């Protein structure tokens, strides 16, 4: 991944690893209806990484997003907090990805399992035509879901 100039943002090494794993997970997507493939990689609070891809179904509501697949895998393995997530998506016929932010339902699921919305890193990689990560866009969940409803709201 290229970094431009002396003042280019410096990300923790794990952000690059998550971006790569999200791209790898995207290759396992099952999206015969939309043709839009997505992969996600979640960094659990304990340091373990879980991946997921979107899985479509002929009965459209029965499908699941990559982000929720990864989070639910983490939770099913005992993780109870998410520290970061990378999401890579785009048309199946292109290796390149542009920033692919999570949908509203996925944002709410991330909110449920993050220690704090202002600390959960949401990493949106961009890649070239060969599928190599070229840059990362970084947000917090708070950026993407301000004034969120969470466990403390009950």
Catalytic (active-site) positions: 67
Asked if 37 contacts 54 with a C-beta cutoff of 8 angstroms, the reply is yes
CA 122 to chain centre: 7
Asked if 121 contacts 85 with a C-beta cutoff of 8 angstroms, the reply is yes
Neighbours of 84 (CB within 10 A): 23
Q: Which two tokens stand for residue 121?
A: 């890193």
Q: Which two tokens stand for residue 50?
A: 């879980």
């Amino acid at each position: 991944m290229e970094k431009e100039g002396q003042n280019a943002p410096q990300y923790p090494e794990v952000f690059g690893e998550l971006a790569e794993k999200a791209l790898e997970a995207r290759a396992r997507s099952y999206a015969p209806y939309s043709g839009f493939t997505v992969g996600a990689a979640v960094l659990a609070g304990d340091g373990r990484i879980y991946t997921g891809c979107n899985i479509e179904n002929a009965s459209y509501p029965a499908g699941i997003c990559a982000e929720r697949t990864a989070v639910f895998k983490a939770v099913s393995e005992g993780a109870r907090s998410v520290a970061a997530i990378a999401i890579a998506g785009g048309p199946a016929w292109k290796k390149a990805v542009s920033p692919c932010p999570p949908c509203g339902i996925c944002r709410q699921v991330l909110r449920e399992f993050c220690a704090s919305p202002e600390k959960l890193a949401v990493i949106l990689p961009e890649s070239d035509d060969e599928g190599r990560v070229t840059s990362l866009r970084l947000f917090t969940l708070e950026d993407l879901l301000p004034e969120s409803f969470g466990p403390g709201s009950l």
